[in-house]
Amino acid sequence: MKQLIKACFALVMMVGAMNAFAQDLDLENTLYLDLKDGRVTIEMYPDLAPKTVTRIKELVRQGFYDGLTFHRVIPGFMAQGGDPDGTGAGGSGQNIPAEFSEMRHLKGTLSMARSDEPDSADSQFFICLGVAPHLDGAYTIWGRVIGGMKYVDHIKEGVVPELQDPDKIIKMQVAADANS
């Protein structure tokens, strides 16, 4: 009987902690990124990169990212996606001005991919798989993974076209809009 009471107490405490975590989230500035292995929760930084976060949310709400591949995944560095062509050369057709900051590129950081031109970010983004100080101050950081990084770590490695059957974004949602 004591074991049952302890188990029930532990369950109540766990549910309470999960509810407290969910209540602390700004659902309008949180993304759910569903991958083959599970859900990744992303906290966005609208104060740090307001134009980028606004554009990401527009694209997410249009379903733009659903089904797109991770076309460039380099172990210990980053996983890049958001290209509708799947080649690394495409985008949504709308560039976003650079919003560089002093924030560091640490494991789990989300940042915008771009060409040599600072204001060339579009829809492609990357998730850092490790620390990348050479990117600091030169790429727009707009969020960080706050849950499910283990699923990001399992994205299939390689670079298209050598990478065959790359992993996909199953669904990406603004948490405020999510049904599940």
Spell out the domains of the chain, with CATH numbers in brackets: 28-177 (2.40.100.10)
Please give the pLDDT value at position 24. 84
Summarised one tens digit per residue, pLDDT across range 134-154 is: 999 999 999 999 999 999 999
Q: Is residue 95 over pLDDT 90?
A: yes
> Distance between CA atoms of 108 and 130, rounded to whole angstroms?
7
Q: Other C-beta atoms within 10 Å of 160: how many?
A: 17
Summarised one tens digit per residue, pLDDT across range 65-80 is: 999 999 999 999 999 9
> Distance between CA atoms of 55 and 142, rounded to whole angstroms?
11
**Are residues 56 and 162 in contact, defined by beta-carbon separation less than 8 angstroms?**
no
Task: Return the sign of the alpha-carbon dihedral for residues 49, 54, 59, 65.
Answer: positive
> Distance between CA atoms of 180 and 36, rounded to whole angstroms?
16
Please give the pLDDT value at position 12. 42
Summarised one tens digit per residue, pLDDT across range 111-124 is: 999 999 999 999 99
> Distance between CA atoms of 143 and 6, rounded to whole angstroms?
38
> Distance between CA atoms of 95 and 110, rounded to whole angstroms?
17
**Are residues 81 and 68 in contact, defined by beta-carbon separation less than 8 angstroms?**
yes
Full-model pTM: 0.87
Amino acid at 143: G
Please give the pLDDT value at position 15. 41
Any residues with CB less than 8 A from the CB of 42 and at least 6 apart, and which?
30, 31, 32, 33, 110, 143, 144, 145, 146
Q: Is residue 3 over pLDDT 80?
A: no
